[in-house]
């Protein structure tokens, strides 16, 4: 059950996308997200979606993995899609009492659905193709300018590294504790919502306790190795902005320019 | 009649994914009522998977498991009843403690069984006694106990359900030698008094040799041997090939025998070895 979560899992590989500089990948991701929302008509939306799918193909990660990460948020996507169906202006196509469906509403629904789906897929590209340590390294570098405002960039990055590192550990632990309580007759699969939440207490408390224990152990181990923050630390793996990143940049700029041109040329369908 | 009967069970993890891995293949055995069974095997031999199958936490990919002659997966909705009858103590069970007091934590299982308050009280107290947990500890928070006491409290939580079959997965892991001996004797006492079936999974040949009536040796997901400790450990050389150690004292006797000294090699404890050597020297 808990093992089905794929959102944010690294899939080791040697594809071109894997080899992109992690900093570049983060910046590209932000830019793509912005341009998904810049796209105002079907042509530009199709362009950015197609570009995203092309990148998906280039990662050589099985498409089923992307679908799995979609599954987690499927409910949200469908719900927002349906809600958007009723919020819209324009020609009324169907009416029943106070419920109205307009062509603007249909456009809204399609746009919202495709936008969220693409958003999840391109975010998955980042997490599927970048190892957690590269990812936090890159974030630390990108956030470096914030040091002027006395933001503890290194500490934040270290916390993220630790958090990511412990997700699989905690999942495994949850599984173990759940089994142990099931063996004592815990019933987590039936009953109403209140009963189910109550049934989780015997799982959550040991999980909290062991998280604190682990945190304590880890802090002690770090201190024993004289960890004292990021000052003067050097890195084993250096990040390099190379030719492959330049190619990625050119590709992205072309796509973004295409989106803007399509927007101007075909006119907006949604706001 | 056998209390537990496994018939050609096979278990595959992650069926249909790229992580597919066969943990058990074609394992069959019968365990009689009141037996004390030891399960040994190196890491990854399928021991833990096997015991989780026995109490219905996992469902076999193929094959059937019978409890008192009834297929445990006949009514999947009532699998909880199987778990009450086949109590399972996991490795490092102290990490499952959660309630405000030790008493409440031990009563979690009996409460889930739907017993009356008097019955629960009686079962909690007798379970605490079996594992040697002092009365005054029952009102304390489980998180105030020492490591060994926590382990005992967690085991009491399973014993309190009064299962027909008690499975313990590495119950002595991480305990000091004294604590280990004490816990093992208590488990043995429990077995002697209640006449229940006990299944002990362990790495330690010494532990198993001391307490088990029969030993199930697992290797690479298959049943390698299922026999009395004497017969199992007399095949010391074969066991070593599987990456298992016979008890040290058995090994010494084996070496003595191999170097031409005619002693009985089916020796499991230091005491037996002492007597055997004295006999040999006397003759």
User: Mean pLDDT, chain B, as a whole number?
Assistant: 89
CA separation, residue A174 to residues A180, A195, A204, B168 (Å): 10, 19, 8, 20
Contact between chains at A185 and B161 (C-beta distance less than 8 A):
yes
The tens digit of pLDDT for each residue in B38-67 reads 999 888 888 889 999 998 999 999 999 999
Contact between chains at B158 and A183 (C-beta distance less than 8 A):
yes
At B230, the pLDDT band (50, 70, 90 cuts) reads confident
First to last CA, chain A: 40
Q: Is the pLDDT of residue A6 over 70?
A: no
Q: Token pair for residue A246?
A: 């330049």
Segment among A191-195, B13-17, B111-115, B138-142 with least mean pLDDT: B13-17
CB B163 within 8 A of CB B87: yes
Q: Choose the mutation target among B16, B51, B84, B95 for the interface with A, i.e. most A CBs under 10 Å.
A: B95
pLDDT at A270: 74
Min Cα separation A213/chain B (Å): 11
At B16, the pLDDT band (50, 70, 90 cuts) reads low
Q: Choose the mutation target among A183, A186, A208 for the interface with B, i.e. most B CBs under 10 Å.
A: A183
pLDDT at A1: 42
Helix (H), strand (E), coil (C) string for B221-252: CEEEEEECHHHHHCCHHHHHHCCCCCCHHHHH
Question: What does the alpha-carbon distance between residue B107 and residue A181 come to, in Å, rounded to a whole number?
Answer: 12
Residues sharing a CB contact under 8 Å with residue B95, sequence separation 6 or more, in sequence order = A173, A176, A177, A180, A206, A209, A210
Calculated CA dihedral for residues A132, A137, A140, A145, nearest 10 degrees:
-140
Question: What does the alpha-carbon distance between residue B278 and residue B268 come to, in Å, rounded to a whole number?
Answer: 16
Contacts of A183 in chain B (CB under 8 A): 55, 57, 83, 87-88, 90, 158
Contacts of A205 in chain B (CB under 8 A): 98-99
**Which residues are paired to A196 by β-bridges?**
none
Segment among B7-16, B22-31, B84-93, B104-113 with least mean pLDDT: B7-16
Question: What does the alpha-carbon distance between residue A72 and residue A80 come to, in Å, rounded to a whole number?
Answer: 14
Question: What does the alpha-carbon distance between residue A245 and residue A247 come to, in Å, rounded to a whole number?
Answer: 5
Q: Which residue has the higher pLDDT, A149 or A240?
A: A149
Average pLDDT over residues B191-208: 89
Residues sharing a CB contact under 8 Å with residue A123, sequence separation 6 or more, in sequence order = A29
Q: Token pair for residue B216?
A: 């199930």
Please check whether the domain covering B2-246 is classified as CATH 3.90.1010.10.
Answer: no
pTM, two decimals, is 0.74
Helices (H) and strands (E) in chain B, counts: 12, 10
Contact between chains at A177 and B83 (C-beta distance less than 8 A):
no
Q: Is the pLDDT of residue A188 over 80?
A: no
Q: Is the pLDDT of residue B211 over 60?
A: yes
CA separation, residue A62 to residues A163, B16, B119 (Å): 26, 14, 55
At A2, the pLDDT band (50, 70, 90 cuts) reads very low
- Give the domain ranges of chain B: 2-246, 247-283
User: Smallest Cβ distance to A205: which of B98, B109, B157?
Assistant: B98
The tens digit of pLDDT for each residue in A201-229 reads 999 999 999 999 999 999 999 999 988 87
The tens digit of pLDDT for each residue in A144-174 reads 888 888 888 888 888 888 887 788 888 889 9
Q: Nearest chain B Cα to A177, which residue?
A: B96
Contacts of A177 in chain B (CB under 8 A): 95-96
Q: Is the pLDDT of residue A268 over 80?
A: no
Question: What does the alpha-carbon distance between residue A222 and residue A219 come to, in Å, rounded to a whole number?
Answer: 5
Query: What would the DSSP string read from start to end of B132-181?
Result: T--GGGGGS-GGGS-HHHHHHHHHHHHHTT--SEEEEESTTTT--HHHHH
Of chain B, the percentage scoring pLDDT greater than 70 comes to 99
Query: Residue B274 is inside which H or E element, if any?
Result: helix B270-282
Helix (H), strand (E), coil (C) string for B109-127: HHHHCCCCHHHHHHHHHHH
Contact between chains at A185 and B113 (C-beta distance less than 8 A):
yes
Report B:161-180 residues touching A (Cβ under 8 A).
161
Q: Is the pLDDT of residue B273 over 70?
A: yes
- Give the domain ranges of chain A: 2-266
CA separation, residue A153 to residues A136, A140, A145, A149, A235 (Å): 10, 6, 9, 10, 15
CB A28 within 8 A of CB A244: no
Question: What does the alpha-carbon distance between residue A233 and residue A236 come to, in Å, rounded to a whole number?
Answer: 10
pLDDT at A156: 87
Question: What does the alpha-carbon distance between residue A30 and residue A122 come to, in Å, rounded to a whole number?
Answer: 10
At B18, the pLDDT band (50, 70, 90 cuts) reads low
At A271, the pLDDT band (50, 70, 90 cuts) reads low
Instruction: Say what the ipTM of the complex is.
Output: 0.85
pLDDT at B236: 78
Q: Nearest chain B Cα to A183, which residue?
A: B83
Q: Token pair for residue A217?
A: 């152990």
The tens digit of pLDDT for each residue in B88-116 reads 999 999 888 999 999 999 999 999 999 99
Segment among A38-47, A142-151, A177-186, B3-12 with least mean pLDDT: A142-151
Q: Choose the mutation target among B84, B96, B168 for the interface with A, i.e. most A CBs under 10 Å.
A: B96
pLDDT at A8: 57
Average pLDDT over residues B251-267: 83
- Would you call B13 an interface residue with chain A, using a CB distance cutoff of 8 Å? no
Question: What does the alpha-carbon distance between residue B80 and residue B72 come to, in Å, rounded to a whole number?
Answer: 10
């Amino acid at each position: 059950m808990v093992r089905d979560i794929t959102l944010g899992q690294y899939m080791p590989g040697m594809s071109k996308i894997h080899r992109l500089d992690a900093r570049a990948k983060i910046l590209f991701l932000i830019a793509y997200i912005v341009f998904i929302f810049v796209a105002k008509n079907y042509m530009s939306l199709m362009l950015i979606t197609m570009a995203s799918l092309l990148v998906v193909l280039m990662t050589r990660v099985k498409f089923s993995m992307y679908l799995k990460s979609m599954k987690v948020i499927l409910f949200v996507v469908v719900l927002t899609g349906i809600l958007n169906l009723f919020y819209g202006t324009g020609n009324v196509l169907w009416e029943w009492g106070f419920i109205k469906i307009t062509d603007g509403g249909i456009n809204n629904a399609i746009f919202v659905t495709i936008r969220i789906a693409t958003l999840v897929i391109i975010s998955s590209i980042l997490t599927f193709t970048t190892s957690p340590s590269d990812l936090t390294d890159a974030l630390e570098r990108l956030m470096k300018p914030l040091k002027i405002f006395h933001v503890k960039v290194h500490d934040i990055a270290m916390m993220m590294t630790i958090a990511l590192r412990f997700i699989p550990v905690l999942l495994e632990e949850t599984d173990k504790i759940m089994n142990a309580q099931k063996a004592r007759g815990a019933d987590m699969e039936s009953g109403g919502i209140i009963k189910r939440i109550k049934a989780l207490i015997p799982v959550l408390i040991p999980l909290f306790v062991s998280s604190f224990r682990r945190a304590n152990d880890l802090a002690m181990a770090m201190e024993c190795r004289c960890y004292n923050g990021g000052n003067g630390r050097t890195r084993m793996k250096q990040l390099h902005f190379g030719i492959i990143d330049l190619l990625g940049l050119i590709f992205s700029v072309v796509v973004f320019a295409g989106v803007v041109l399509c927007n101007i040329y075909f006119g907006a369908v949604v706001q | 009649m056998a209390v537990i009967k496994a018939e050609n069970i096979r278990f595959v993890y992650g069926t249909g994914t790229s992580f597919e891995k066969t943990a058990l293949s074609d394992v069959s055995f019968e365990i009689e009522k009141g037996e004390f069974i030891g399960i040994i095997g190196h890491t990854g031999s399928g021991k833990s998977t096997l015991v989780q199958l026995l109490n219905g936490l996992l469902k076999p990919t193929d094959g059937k498991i019978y409890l008192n002659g009834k297929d445990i997966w006949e009514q999947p909705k009532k699998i909880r009843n199987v778990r009450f009858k086949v109590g399972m103590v996991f490795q490092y069970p102290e990490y499952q403690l959660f309630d405000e007091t030790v008493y409440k934590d031990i009563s979690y299982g009996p409460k889930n069984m739907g017993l009356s308050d008097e019955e629960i009280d009686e079962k909690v107290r007798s379970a605490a006694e079996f594992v040697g947990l002092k009365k005054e500890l029952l009102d304390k928070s489980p998180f105030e106990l020492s490591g060994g006491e926590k382990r005992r409290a967690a085991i009491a939580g399973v014993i309190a359900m009064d299962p027909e079959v008690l499975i313990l997965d590495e119950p002595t892991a991480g305990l000091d030698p004294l604590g280990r001996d004490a816990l093992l004797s208590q488990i043995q006492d429990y077995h002697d008094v209640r006449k229940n079936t006990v299944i002990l999974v362990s790495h330690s040949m010494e532990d198993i040799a001391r307490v088990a009536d029969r030993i199930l040796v697992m290797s690479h997901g298959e049943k390698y041997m299922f026999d009395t400790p004497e017969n199992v450990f007399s095949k010391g050389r074969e066991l070593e090939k599987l990456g298992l150690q016979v008890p040290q004292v058995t090994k010494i006797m084996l070496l003595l025998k191999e170097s031409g000294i005619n002693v009985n090699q089916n020796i499991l404890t230091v005491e037996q070895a002492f007597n055997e050597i004295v006999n040999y020297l006397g003759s």
